[in-house]
Amino acid sequence: MSHTPHDLDPSHSPDLLDAVRTQCAAVAERAQWVAIRHERLVSCARDLASRPDLHPSIDPATHYLGHGDDTVAFFVTLDTINFGSGYFPLLRKRPGMSGYFTVASSLTDRFATHGPWSAKELAGLDAEVCAEVFGQRNAPPAVAELMALFARALRDLGALLASRYDGEFTALVAAADRSANRLVHVLAQMPLFRDVSVYGTRQVPFFKRAQLMAADLALALDGQGYGLFTDLDRLTIFADNLVPHVLWVDGVLRYDESLLKRINAGELIPAGSAEEVEIRACAVHAVELLVEESARLGRHASAHVLDYLLWTRGQGPAYKAIPRHRTRTTAY
């Protein structure tokens, strides 16, 4: 069962990034299905530190870069619908592209031809329009469900832009006042951005897509203007289903055998289940420990930079050949 507790008011948690770290560490300490193999942290940190370039980049062929305020609009729009990995095995993909790059490149084509949707246009989108834009007409029912969720997320964005930011994407980003933490607060006004799970009696925030938007804007705009965030190094990883998979393949995470059998069989792991929360939370905490180990090795690397390296590594055929957990959720 998926959980988005209505009693979690982000305005009552001024430092959401600290909350992500604290709660994920608490889950990792109590986890039953997933464990961090602490003996593997040093070798993994050494391997990551050996990389010659720790600077993330964005593929210009599949993202709408270099267009000023329209690039801001692009990444706000993209990260609003940057979910669906649990549906991606059924998604009609562009040749040679993953599900994510299919969505990103499709949106880039839309922006290149028509520019951004206005707030009014966003508020009126439906699943049929999304299916057309993302190349999913006459898709299986599960993909039609994803297109309906895309439409819902984009309508929420349009409504928020119209009601609070004069219809301007840049005004939404400016409301964060150059703080990634505050941008998470801003985005959490939209229901599908409230990426919070329940684990026992504990509320565990992840805010994967909200954090990712700050990192994407910073990369796309070279840390200038609407891409300037003074607390960017305080981001955690963007907890999804790929970075935990890479950490598992590399031996940093260990899964319970029964959970592993379910993943290998392609069984969907329910959103908000103890297993799914532990996978994400243990990945967050493991990378925090890798940040500490990297510092001991004399190489500064923030969690979101290590996320980029791990996510990029996960695009390789050796990682793609092994099943990873699939969850149908709007979180990732």
Domain ranges of the chain: 10-320
- Structural tokens at position 167: 């219809």
* Catalytically annotated residue among 156, 195, 216, 240: 240
254 — phi, psi (to 5°)?
-125, 130
Which alpha helices (H) appear in 208-256, and where do they start and end? Answer: 208-220, 243-249
Half-sphere exposure of residue 6: CA atoms within 13 angstroms, side-chain side: 0
pLDDT of residue 136: 98
Residue 56's pLDDT is 85
Low-confidence residues of the chain: pLDDT under 70? 1-13, 52-54
pLDDT digits (tens, 9 = 90+) for 85-134: 999 999 999 999 999 999 999 999 999 999 999 999 999 999 999 999 99
The C-alpha torsion from 5 through 183 and 286 to 55, rounded to 10°, is 160
In whole angstroms, give the CA distance from residue 129 to residue 51: 42
Tokens read off for 154: 């984009």
Give the per-residue pLDDT at 2.
38
Cα(77)–Cα(283) distance, integer angstroms? 26
**Total-model pTM:** 0.94
pLDDT for the residue numbered 193: 98
231 among known catalytic residues: no
Q: DSSP E strands: which ranges in the chain?
A: 34-36, 196-199, 202-205, 253-255
The CA radius of gyration of the chain, in Å to the nearest whole number, is 19
DSSP state of 31: -
pLDDT for 17: 96
